[in-house]
Amino acid sequence: MITTLQNDLLIRAALSQQTERPPVWMMRQAGRFMPEYWAIKNKYSFLEMCKTPEIAADVTMLPVDLLGIDAAILFSDILVTAEAMGGDLSFEQGVGPRFANPVRSFADADKLATDCLPKLEYVADAIKVIQQRLNGSIPLIGFAGAPFTILSYLVEGASSKDFKLTKLMLNNEPKLAHTILQKIADVTVEYLNMQIAAGVNAVQLFDSWALALSWNDYKEFAHYYNNQIISRLNRKDVPVISFCKGSSVFAPIMAEAKPDVISVDWNADLKNIKQSLSAGIAVQGNLDPFVLYADKKVIKDKIHQLFERMRGENGFIFNLGHGIMPDIPFDHVKYAIEVVKEFRY
């Protein structure tokens, strides 16, 4: 797979090899900050977009064609695994994701299915269409949500500020939490292996809300399952990127799962994190996405500051510390990508 890519900067950086500049892609690069995204979104629901391979491919290709990034990311959502397990998922404008049947008891947990691959076949189909369109130009990143983050949506039934019900379950009913987490982990392994078999060139595990956890709870309820997933993947030459909000704190534990790359939020000094990790673990990040609201000169200076700090470090993928916000001006995102692509070590 690697040898057939025209631009393999991301794969080389993920495998801690030398690159002439850092590769760039951005979380939520195919999304609402793009007028072209809205042109499609106004015709279909979000889940229709995810489940129709031709449309998912059209959206995946928007940042490839309009921004010139070094990697595409599959257009989908982390919550499709939870839906396939039986979650009654909907996305409402301005409200975000909702599960109409939250999972809060052993009876609810028993109902969760684990033979889900047939229901997720549309993702494999989308990957094949996207790879035809990319035609070996740049790598395609597949992804899944990590068990703790998926658990939080299943328990809360929606996005949450404080994860009160989820944390109550971890504290009062840890066995119930572990039962659900193990089911999610099993589905996630099969799902990511399906994506790898369908042709993705890298995979990212999103543990977006791990930040809510204490050190011990992170180890018990997040790391334990992420470690299982990473060690059960048919990785071959497909690098694994481990992302969490909270990675500034949890990086040493994340590293124990042996991902190829740790994606770092914007709180930490990226070079300090990189140097604290064993050789062979690359880092991804970590510009504060709010910088992209600022004047172009500021955007350029902050990117150059980060690059100067990372000079001499192999294994560095430029990205944001979290996703692009929907109201960030498109031309600021485009400008940031140009700044990265013009840079040379």
Which residues sit at the interface with ligand CP3, rule CB under 6 A?
27-32, 41, 46, 73, 75-79, 91, 96-97, 143, 159, 206, 208, 323
Pick 27 or 299: Cβ nearer ligand CP3: 27
Between 174-198 and 224-231, two packed helices, what is the crossing angle to 10 degrees? Answer: 30
171-194 core/surface letters (b: 16 or more CB in 10 A; e: else): eeeeebbbebbbbbbbbbbbbbbb
Pick 16 or 75: Cβ nearer ligand CP3: 75
Pick 16 or 230: Cβ nearer ligand CP3: 230
DSSP H or E segment with residue 142: strand 140-145
Residues 304 and 339: their CA atoms lie apart, in Å, by 8
Cis-peptide into 171, omega within 30 deg = no
Neighbouring C-alpha atoms within 13 Å toward the C-beta of 273 = 29
Tell me how crowded residue 342 is: count the other CB atoms within 10 A of its CB.
9
Residues 336 and 187: their CA atoms lie apart, in Å, by 36
Pick 133 or 309: Cβ nearer ligand CP3: 133
Residues 314 and 21: their CA atoms lie apart, in Å, by 10
Sign of CA dihedral 215, 265, 139, 20: negative
Pick 159 or 275: Cβ nearer ligand CP3: 159
Minimal distance, residue 44 CB to ligand CP3, in Å: 10
Pick 208 or 227: Cβ nearer ligand CP3: 208
Minimal distance, residue 178 CB to ligand CP3, in Å: 22
Minimal distance, residue 166 CB to ligand CP3, in Å: 13
Minimal distance, residue 225 CB to ligand CP3, in Å: 16
Q: What residue number has its CB nearest to ligand CP3? A: 208
Pick 143 or 224: Cβ nearer ligand CP3: 143
Between 164-172 and 174-198, two packed helices, what is the crossing angle to 10 degrees? Answer: 120
DSSP H or E segment with residue 143: strand 140-145
Pick 68 or 174: Cβ nearer ligand CP3: 68
Minimal distance, residue 261 CB to ligand CP3, in Å: 15
Q: What is the DSSP letter of 97?
A: E
DSSP H or E segment with residue 140: strand 140-145
Minimal distance, residue 13 CB to ligand CP3, in Å: 18
Minimal distance, residue 213 CB to ligand CP3, in Å: 15
For residue 204, what are the β-bridge partners? 143, 241
Q: Which two tokens stand for residue 62?
A: 């928007």
Name the CA dihedral angle for 289, 295, 298, 300, rounded to a multiple of 10 degrees.
Answer: 80
Pick 90 or 314: Cβ nearer ligand CP3: 90
| Residue 1 C-alpha from the chain's centroid | 21
Minimal distance, residue 28 CB to ligand CP3, in Å: 4
Minimal distance, residue 241 CB to ligand CP3, in Å: 11
